[in-house]
Copies of this chain bind each other. A is one copy, B any other.
């Protein structure tokens, strides 16, 4: 009965998306099979198939023939503009990653930070500053704020072994991301931490991520402009099946 405004496959999709968004279904959880949906909702199998197939194409779930359908892992994986872990990027280049934590604590949100995280000035948020090294060369200063309610164990983490990005991704899949890329001259402190040459700018990536409809992290990433650049490649869908979104990664210049 296509009386209802929305088609049935769409209703099924929204049903499952809501369960994922609310946390009712967590990453790696099993999603109702096509036959489950047929039995539970009375649709035909083709309709259930379309719902799950589209959720798969959109990155919400993973399907394995003969096994089942599962909530997509970690995050909408390669979807969110390749929010790749800096440590993974470095390891993929065959280099050694290390990092130093300059600060890890609690801070009162104010101004830009409060605005970015949708909280009131004076609210407690977590704050971590660390420098990432590639083969001992500093390549990124990470200045990150995280909502306290979202990541209660934030202060107990050892961010030299698991990056903040990896830790936060493990807590909950990110659902939305906002990026800003800027160029600017570094201040004295940044220049020292990144060992930036005199008169060299830095490339700044500002990122905000959402989970469950609310912003959870606000991060500023500073990179020495003469050593690193952002690279992105887009190929038409279908040629590569892995992702529908563009991928952008930080890479060495030259």
Contact = CB atoms under 8 A, between A and B. Distances in A.
A179 B58 contact: no
A202 interface: yes
Main secondary structure of the interface of A (DSSP, over half): mixed
Given A184-B225, A201-B185, A245 B236 contact: no
Interface in A70-108: 76, 79-81
Contact of A17 (B59, B81, B178, B238): B238
B181 A203 contact: yes
Interface in A222-254: 225-226, 229-238, 244-246, 248, 253
A169 interface: no
Contact of A58 (B182, B231, B236): B236
Contact of A185 (B58, B177, B199): B199
Given A57-B57, A183-B225, A81 B199 contact: no
A176 interface: yes
12 contacts: A58-B237, A58-B238, A76-B236, A81-B246, A177-B234, A181-B229, A183-B201, A183-B202, A184-B226, A185-B201, A201-B201, A201-B225
Nearest to A17: B238
Contact of A13 (B176, B232, B238): B238
**Copies of this chain, tallied across the complex:** 2
A93 B199 CA distance: 33
Contacts of A181: 181, 203, 229-232
A11 interface: no
A200 interface: yes
Nearest to A59: B237
Given A17-B238, A199-B185, A246-B245, A230 B177 contact: no
A175 B58 CA distance: 21
A67 interface: no
Contacts of A204: 183
A17 to B, nearest CB: 7
A180 B230 contact: yes
Contacts of A177: 233-234
B59 A178 contact: no
